[in-house]
């Protein structure tokens, strides 16, 4: 059978975001993957250099709408490192609570999307219905559903109210029950399992070699979690487990995320029980001292790393963001390429792509990746392809 290219994206139902992957397929099997990223490149790093530190908070929030609070936490923390100041413990705890709520929302969202990608729309609808509970709590605490605007340099903007705490506790109970239910479904539903088990294998050695991060790495039997390895905020004081599964496939990525959701519920409960009293923010001078700092946060998708360089003015000299998805791109290309011992089908593309929980808006202040191997078979060039599909009967 002749080889044949299937473009996925930039507008494709499997990708909620404009990225483009070109798959070279042989029948239903994928032999090569060539991603083209950059559709989402907005030039945030350049923009950050022309805004003040406070203004940049808004920009960082909007790097990614799903893990927004991870980016602002990372940013605020980074600038606080520049000042060499600690923020009040209550603020640290509130940050942890919001970060974990965000993780729950993100993982549930992902579980729904994963269901949708394998044509299991009922799961999608159910999970998203329950996810609305988290959104309610987040809205009660921060006032917003998606971009929370809770972090500020030197602490958080809003304190937790008693009603919000009561609401959070109630919702956590519902969520725990529902998440456990989904865990049972995931472990028992045969048509679901048949689509995810043994699919998208990423061997532990490859995961380390290609520098995968977050749940993708943890699903390949490597216990690596920034919250444990490089504890920030209040994570040093909070007891929790870093999880890992060793099946290295999509199924194991599902289990890691579902279990992390349960773990996050426990973390929030602990934080609510041990919430210290005191102020929630400190005042810091307008301009941080000259210097540089690196800050890392475990975003729902993995390690999020920011670097800041200050020259003592009110604007950063350089601000660098590396979001988790970029770190996982080489890994997902590896997962999607058929190897001697396992083949990958077209039908598996959506779920495998989704299994790293891609978030290209974060990633794309950057990147395109082309497999350097040259294909000898007949292939249409990108321009040909575009011209071809742009042709219409009535011009």
124 sits near other proteins (criterion: CB under 8 A):
yes
390 sits near other proteins (criterion: CB under 8 A):
yes
CB 317 within 8 A of CB 310: yes
115 sits near other proteins (criterion: CB under 8 A):
yes
Nearer to other proteins, 15 or 164 (CB): 15
45 sits near other proteins (criterion: CB under 8 A):
yes
What distance in Å separates the CA atoms of residue 243 and residue 265, rounded to the nearest whole number? 14
Return the structure tokens found at 191: 């048509």
269 sits near other proteins (criterion: CB under 8 A):
no
Q: How many CA atoms lie within 13 A of 204 on its CB side?
A: 10
Question: In the chain, which ranges are continuous DSSP H helix?
Answer: 44-49, 53-61, 68-83, 89-117, 121-142, 162-188, 190-196, 204-209, 214-218, 226-229, 250-273, 324-336, 349-355, 360-363, 382-390
367 sits near other proteins (criterion: CB under 8 A):
yes
Q: Which residues from 182-221 bind other proteins, rule CB under 8 A?
A: 189, 191-192, 194-195, 208-211
Q: Which residues from 57-86 bind other proteins, rule CB under 8 A?
A: 58-59, 62-66, 68, 81, 84
Nearer to other proteins, 203 or 320 (CB): 320
10: preceding bond cis by omega (within 30 degrees):
yes
229 sits near other proteins (criterion: CB under 8 A):
yes
381 sits near other proteins (criterion: CB under 8 A):
no
Of 197, 274, 318, 339, the one binding other proteins (CB under 8 A) is 318
Q: Which residues from 159-188 bind other proteins, rule CB under 8 A?
A: none
Closest approach of other proteins to the CB of residue 193, in Å: 9
Nearer to other proteins, 111 or 270 (CB): 111
């Amino acid at each position: 059978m002749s080889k044949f290219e299937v473009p996925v994206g930039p507008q494709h139902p499997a990708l909620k975001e404009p990225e483009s992957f070109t798959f070279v397929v042989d029948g239903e099997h994928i032999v090569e993957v060539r991603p083209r990223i950059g559709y989402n490149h907005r030039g945030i790093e350049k923009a950050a250099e022309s805004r003040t530190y406070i203004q940049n908070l808004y920009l960082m929030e909007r790097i990614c709408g799903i893990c927004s609070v991870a980016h602002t936490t990372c940013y605020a923390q980074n600038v606080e490192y520049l000042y060499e100041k600690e923020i009040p413990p209550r603020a640290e705890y509130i940050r942890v609570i919001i970060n974990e709520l965000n993780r729950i929302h993100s993982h549930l969202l992902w579980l729904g999307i994963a269901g949708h990608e394998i044509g299991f729309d009922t799961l999608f609808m159910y999970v998203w219905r329950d996810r609305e509970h988290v959104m309610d709590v987040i809205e009660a605490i921060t006032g917003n559903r998606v971009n929370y605007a809770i972090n500020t340099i030197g602490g958080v903007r809003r304190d937790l109210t008693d009603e919000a705490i009561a609401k959070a506790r109630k919702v956590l109970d519902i969520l725990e029950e529902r998440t456990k239910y989904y865990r049972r479904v995931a472990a028992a539903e045969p048509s679901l399992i048949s689509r995810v088990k043994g699919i998208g294998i990423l061997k532990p050695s490859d995961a380390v070699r290609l520098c995968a991060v977050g749940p993708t790495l943890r699903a390949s039997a490597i216990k690596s979690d920034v919250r444990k390895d490089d504890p920030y905020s209040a994570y040093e004081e909070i007891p929790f487990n870093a999880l890992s599964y060793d099946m290295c496939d999509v199924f194991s990525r599902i289990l890691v995320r579902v279990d992390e959701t349960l773990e996050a519920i426990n973390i929030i409960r602990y934080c609510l029980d041990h919430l210290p009293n005191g102020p929630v923010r400190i005042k810091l001078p307008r301009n941080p001292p000259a210097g540089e700092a690196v800050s890392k946060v475990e975003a729902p998708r993995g390690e999020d790393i920011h670097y800041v360089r200050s020259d003592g003015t009110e604007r950063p000299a350089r601000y660098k963001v590396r979001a988790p998805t970029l770190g996982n791109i080489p890994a997902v290309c590896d997962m999607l390429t058929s190897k001697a011992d396992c083949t990958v089908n077209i039908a598996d593309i959506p779920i495998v792509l989704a299994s790293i929980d891609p978030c290209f808006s974060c990633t794309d202040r950057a990147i395109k990746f082309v497999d350097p191997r040259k294909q000898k078979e007949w292939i249409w060039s990108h321009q040909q392809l575009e011209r071809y599909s742009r042709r219409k009967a009535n011009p």
